[in-house]
C-alpha cells in the first residue's frame, strides 16, 4: 500500500492564495486552458488529463509569446486547481471532465 503524503492545511491555503494571485495576474492562462478543454469537448472527448493541457499551454506560451522564460512559469502546483476552477465555473459543460483526487492538505472533493 502506498504511503499518503500529507501537507499541512496552511500549505494548502498558501497554494490557494498563490493560485488566486497567479490567476489575477495571468487571466489569459485560464482562458487558454478553457479553450483547449472546449476544443476537446467539441471533438466528443468526455474526459481528459488536466496535466496534459497544462503541458500544451507551457509549450504554447514559451513558443508563441514574448514571455520572459525566467520570470513566467506555469507552476505544476496549479494544475489541479485550474481543473477544479473550470469544472466549478462551468459544471454544465465540464462536470467530471477531469479526474480529481483530494487536494494534499485540503478538503476532499
The b-or-e profile of 86-101 (16+ CB within 10 A means b, else e) is bbeeeeeebeebbeee
Q: Give pTM, 2 decimals.
A: 0.80
Residue 79 CB burial class (10 angstroms; 0-12, 13-18, ≥19): buried
Q: What is the mean pLDDT of the chain?
A: 85
Retrieve residue 33's grid coordinates. 486552458
Q: What pLDDT score does 30 carry?
A: 97
Write down the residue that cell numbers 514571455 correspond to: 67
Q: What pLDDT score does 72 carry?
A: 66
Domain boundaries, the chain: 9-94
CA distance 12 to 19: 10
Q: What pLDDT score does 73 carry?
A: 81
Amino acid at each position: 500500500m502506498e504511503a499518503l503524503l500529507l501537507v499541512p492545511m496552511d500549505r494548502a491555503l498558501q497554494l490557494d492564495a498563490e493560485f488566486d494571485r497567479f490567476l489575477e495576474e495571468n487571466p489569459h492562462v485560464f482562458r487558454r486552458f478553457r479553450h483547449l478543454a472546449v476544443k476537446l469537448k467539441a471533438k466528443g472527448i468526455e474526459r481528459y488529463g488536466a496535466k496534459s493541457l497544462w503541458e500544451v499551454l507551457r509549450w504554447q506560451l514559451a513558443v508563441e509569446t514574448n514571455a520572459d522564460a525566467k520570470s513566467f512559469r506555469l507552476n505544476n502546483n496549479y494544475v489541479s486547481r485550474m481543473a477544479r476552477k473550470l469544472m466549478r465555473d462551468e459544471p454544465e459543460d465540464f462536470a467530471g471532465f477531469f479526474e480529481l483526487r483530494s487536494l494534499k492538505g485540503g478538503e476532499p472533493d
